[in-house]
Amino acid sequence: RQPPRDSSVDPALAAALAILLQPFVETIAEQLRKKDGGASASADAVRQAYVAAYSSPTVEALIGRLHQYLPDVQGELVRQAYALGVIAHSGQFRQSGEPYIDHPVAVATILLELRLDAESVAAALLHDVVEDTGVSLEVIKQFFGDSVAHLVDGVTKLSGLE
């Protein structure tokens, strides 16, 4: 299913929002309801969190760093990966108490310091999504392409060796 076409909506944003029609959005909301012990988390709340993350200061900073050495690269892939990472890891915390998304952002920041491409940065933001959430590798492939899916799958397999 595709979101309704509205000529006033930016085509890049419309494509990005198509991911919110996937069944995993309800799975994430269900996981949050189980953690909260209540019905406060809805699929609509998950969708709103995606939209908020889509243009958050954190993702703007990541894209800004990417543009320092790849000025012509569209930041859309990184933007969408960050927003998906935020909603997929909603309600998850590290042992330190920090939100789980801080870890993928830290990995992405290291890759930006190493001047890697947008696909690698997107994969860093998504590297635990398949393993730890209701988002499948097929969803990653569908919305982020073969290259990002291959990188995410490789990291998932590596973590299975531990």
pLDDT tens profile 13-72: 677 778 888 888 988 888 888 876 656 788 898 999 999 999 999 999 999 999 999 999
Which of 117, 51, 125, 113 has its CA nearest to residue 82? 125
Annotation marks residue 128 as catalytic: no
pLDDT score of 122 more than 50: yes
When pLDDT is averaged across residues 125-132 and rounded to a whole number, the result is 91
Annotation marks residue 131 as catalytic: yes
Residue 3: predicted pLDDT: 47
Residue 159: predicted pLDDT: 58
Q: pTM of the prediction?
A: 0.86
Distance CA 88, CA 23 (A): 12
Q: Which residue has the tokens 């060796």?
A: 161
Residue 34: predicted pLDDT: 81
**Which residue out of 30, 76, 131, 153 is catalytically annotated?**
131
**Which residue out of 132, 138, 146, 162 is catalytically annotated?**
132
Residue 156: predicted pLDDT: 72
Residue 35: predicted pLDDT: 76
Residue 28's contacts (CB-CB under 8 Å, 6 or more residues apart) are 46, 87, 88, 90, 133, 134, 135
Where would I find the H helices in the chain? 11-17, 24-36, 43-54, 57-69, 76-88, 102-113, 118-126, 129-132, 137-159
Residue 7: predicted pLDDT: 52
